[in-house]
Amino acid sequence: MSKNTQQESTRTVIITGATRGIGREMAKGFSRRGWRVAGCARSRKDVEKIAEDLGAGNFFEVVDISNDASVATFARQVIDNLGTPDLLINNAALMNDPARLWEIPAVEFDRLTAVNINGIANVIRHFAGDMIRQGRGIIVNLSSGWGRSTSADVAPYCTSKWAVEGLTSALAQELPEGMAAISLNPGVIDTDMLRQCWGNEAASCQTPAQWAKTALPFLEKITAQDNGRQLTAP
């Protein structure tokens, strides 16, 4: 196989929030499985660490996905370096500190929705066009059990994940044949985000590394035939 053919046959995945929790495990796992990985996060230290861990042939950058201009620059860099993504995973999200809705400061609510809702729209805005021109690509928007049900004290997070479900369903109706948008409930995983609302009880849940062992093969099998589906990771 020629070098060019080999490069063309290698798939590319983009992961937002790629330096912590399941985002980091997805980045590491996809790289081990032969994918080119592009990722972003807000912490320069964490971005430099994942870039060093995964090595050459991948691309990582500091990006605040709630900033549309920052996402636009990132998208141009990724496409220039790695080409059109085969799989786009909108993983980055914030959790609110548990409290009744009327007790949550406006600045906290606004910051959460800016990342969890607007951030996904920004990423799709700057990658979908290239994917459509190439006639291929899968968009996976991370939802939650709290995007299909609700609990007290996490109303901002529930709001954002219900919005992700609606956004994804509408997007699926807009995409051309050969592409797919799906919402994914990843399940309950022991991450910093879960510990923010569950405390030490989160330790009873699977780790991000354990989750990735079954979730990555599942993600790799998503096709255009799954367009519009509400999926749950195994």
Active site residues: 157
Q: State how far Cα 77 lies from the chain centre.
A: 18
8 phi and psi, to 5 degrees?
-65, -30
Nearest CA among 105, 1, 13, 104 for reference residue 54: 13
CA atoms of 117 and 128, how far apart (whole Å): 16
**Cβ-count burial 7-37 (b if 16+ within 10 Å, e if not):** eeeeebbbbbbbbbbbbbbbbbbbbeeebbb
101 phi and psi, to 5 degrees?
-50, -45
192 phi and psi, to 5 degrees?
-60, -35
